Homo-oligomer: A and B are copies of this chain.
């Protein structure tokens, strides 16, 4: 989990949107995440986030759940995530990524 990898992972609007959606700390099922890309592309972005250490993924049967590693991030790079989230919010980056709160 390196700084450059984290910043690189955050240099894409879709991934910023995913992080924003996960920023409330709740674990989300894959199926709840909606972004305007093909599912293989979404899988790719989620892999980039995981490889950079931003998220944690849990497999349960055939379903996958993803969660932001906020504690680890805050410990390793204090303040970074918060300032990125603030900036993303005020610039409305990644707004086309959303989550359906209901079922998995």
- Per-residue CB contact flags for chain A residues 1-35 toward chain B (1 = under 8 Å, else 0) read 01111011011110010000000000000000000
Assess whether A83 is interfacial by the CB under 8 Å rule: yes
State which of B2, B4, B93 has its C-beta within 8 Å of the C-beta of A3.
Answer: B93
Main secondary structure of the interface of A (DSSP, over half): helix
Q: Hey, what's the 0/1 contact readout for A26-66 against B, CB within 8 Å counting as 1?
A: 00000000000000000000000000000000000000000
Which size bracket describes the interface of A in this complex?
Answer: 20 to 34
Please name 14 pairs of A and B residues whose Cβ atoms are closer than 8 Å in the assembled complex, sorted by A. A3-B16, A4-B11, A4-B13, A5-B11, A7-B10, A11-B11, A77-B86, A78-B86, A79-B82, A79-B83, A79-B86, A80-B80, A80-B84, A83-B83
